Structure 1
Amino acid sequence: MESRQDGRDWAYRVDPYGFERPEDFDYASYEAFFSRYLVVLTRRAIKWSKLLKGNKSIQKSLKVKRYIRKGIPNEHRALIWMIVSGAQTNMEQNPGYYHRLLEGEKNDKLVEAIKTDMNRTFPDNVKFRKTADPCLQHTLYNVLVAYGHHNKAVGYCQGMNFIAGYLILITKNEEESFWLLDALIGRILPEVLDVKMDLHGLKTF
């Protein structure tokens, strides 16, 4: 039976996103740095809270650009990404669309290609392991299957699993991750995935 101390040690060995730290990780230097940096993060978080004022919208301005370039605090990152990318607007204008994609008829070849990459996605992240509760592999599978049927010109390419997986770690929300993936691949960085080639040079499906 795992002791309370063992649980604390395990939590200490992974970062806030669930990635295991290497055996040679310098905890002393990290703690020394973070204790100082925490003051900066707290100050930024307060500024963002004042800027947002509890709203889910934000007006583009030089101040917002400056804040973003300095770094978005973790607690505000998902919302700001959703707003500035246009994903929030698209999600609000298409209620139920994501779930209809999941409930619709599936392309067997697309589904099989995605399933193949599930265990290959962030193997050093405890949240993506089958033993995790909840296991983010299921969330990742849904996002990729929905996107593959939404954007049939791209479908699924190897490497998309890591992009979607990272979005899931940040948003902690399946539907938001789908719309952010759509914003990235469809509008912001369409050159990341050529419709004929994946990140390794071969389109999976």
Structure 2
Amino acid sequence: MANCWSWRRICCCCKERDPKRMEESEEFWDEICAIDPYGFERPEDFDYQTYEEFMSHYLAVLARRAGKWSSLLSARTKVERSRKVKRYCRKGIPAEHRGMVWMHISGAQKKMEENPGLYEKLLNGPKDQRLIETISTDIHRTFPDNIYFKDGSDEGKRRPLYNVLVAYGHHNKGVGYCQGLNFITGLLLLVLKDEEMSFFLLDTLLDKILPDYYTQDMSGLKTDQEVLGELVKLKLPHLHAHVEREGVPWSLPTTKWFICLYLEVLPLETVLRIWDSLFYEGSKIIFRVALTLLGLHQDIILKATTFPNVVEAFKKIVTHSKNMDCHSFMQNIFKVPGSLPLAQLTKIRQTCRAKVV
């Protein structure tokens, strides 16, 4: 689907030639702009002006990246991990290649090829009724503002979502089902448009990239929230001291950031760009995003002087209009936090894990 900015440009051209056609175009423009390319209905307070300003220069970026990726992928059936591919992922994967690239750079494609028939076997095998009931309850709560997840949708994603979650819950009984997985899986289905691929990418994400995030005790998630606090202490000491002084635990305002991988928190295109790098570089990207949000907008939090105001300030920084510019945002996550060596992250994790356990 064409973006809103290009449709408005078309409408303006029509107005000069045919006012009646312009009236029809404006109606079409309203319909197109009300829904994004992934089927999400835009909220009534959506900032179209900021979006148009962003798209006016981002279209050229998209065109350049599409050309680069087309050259890279020509005559190839898979994507090998390399410095070049890592750099390309940081600069964004075109929508038409995103699903295939995610599968390869994450290792999910290899896992799927090594386990033929596993997904169908899980779907057709014996079922845990308690798991089924829990998943069924959450299916109707998934993306209520998305046309593909509504009742009666011709291209409905509810059944595929149910299938993937049921298959995964029986595949990994240590996780089963946890709230938040429905949203992550839902977006995988919107991007990959394939149940089996979405299943294996979800499995890779939870097993390799985010281990113990969605287990019953959520030890991995709790550990990483403690890690974030330590990283803020190192890189943004004034902010850390302020938040600690107001008595706000880092887990309170950031749980949704981590559990949904910024989905339902940041603009969708920004989330997709984050996931482009997440599937290649792993969980350190989650920390880079968090440190960037806090670093760029720390003044908002520093001005908040009570517990509830600090929590509210965290909400404000994720809704800031600058977050809509996904290209600049992604450039910042590799600049603002500075160096973040894996060895340092691993050492901090070990210390924090001992505290959580």
TM-score (norm 1): 0.88
How many positions carry a matched residue from both structures?
198
Q: How many Å separate the matches in 2 of 1:188 and 1:197? A: 14
Is contact 1:128-1:137 (8 Å) kept? yes
Deviations 1:179-205 (A, max 9, x none): 0000000111113213434988xxxxx
Secondary structure at 1:133 match in 2: coil
The Cα of 1:6 is off from its aligned counterpart by: 5.7
**What is the CA distance between 1:8 and its match in structure 2?**
5.5
Deviation at 1:30, TM superposition (A): 2.0
Identical positions, percent = 57
1:151 to 149, 172, 193: 172
User: Which residue number in structure 1 is paired with residue 188 of structure 2?
Assistant: 167
Q: What is the identity, as a one-letter code, of the residue corresponding to 2:198?
A: S
Which shifted more, 189-198 or 12-21? 189-198
Aligned runs of 1:190-205 on 2, under 5 Å?
190-197=211-218
Check whether the contact 1:157–1:197 (CA below 8 A) recurs between aligned residues.
no
Alignment map for 1:10-159 (pairs within 5 Å): 10-159=31-180
- Distance, in Å, in 2 between the alignment partners of 1:48 and 1:117 is 37
Shift of residue 78, structure 1, vs aligned partner: 0.6
Shift in CA distance, 4/30, structure 1 to aligned 2, threshold 3 Å: closer
In structure 1, what residue type is equivalent to 2:133? E
Partner SS for 1:190: coil
Distance 1:156 1:7 in 2: 41
Amino acid across the alignment from 1:102: L
Unaligned runs of 5+ in 1: 201-205
Question: What SS does the aligned partner of 1:191 have?
Answer: coil
Pair 1:187-2:211 in alignment: no
Inter-partner Cα distance in structure 1 for 2:25 and 2:49: 22
Give the conservation status (yes or no) of the 8 Å contact 1:144–1:161. yes
In structure 2, C-alpha distance between the alignment counterparts of 1:126 and 1:42, rounded to whole Å: 27
**Structure 1 contact 57–83 (Cα < 8 Å) conserved:** yes
Runs of 5+ unmatched residues, structure 2: 1-23, 222-254, 256-357
> 1:53-109: per-residue Cα shift (whole Å, max 9, x none)?
142322222111111111111111111110011100111111221111111111111
CA 1:132–1:45: 2 relative to 1, 3 Å: same
Conservation of the 8 A alpha-carbon contact between 2:131 and 2:169: yes
Preserved CA contact (<8 Å) 2:80 2:104: no
Q: In the alignment, is the contact (CA less than 8 A) between 2:35 and 2:41 conserved in 1?
A: yes
User: In the TM superposition, what whole-angstrom CA distance separates every residue of 1:99-127 from its partner, at most 9, and x where no partner exists?
Assistant: 11111111111111100001111111111
CA RMSD of aligned residues (A): 2.1
Alpha-carbon separation, structure 2, partners of 1:42 and 1:192: 36
- Whether the 8 Å CA contact 1:56–1:79 is kept in 2: the answer is no
Larger relative helix fraction: 2
**Larger Cα-atom Rg:** 2
- The worse-fitting range, judged by mean Cα deviation, of 133-142 and 23-32 is 23-32
C-alpha displacement of 1:5? 7.5
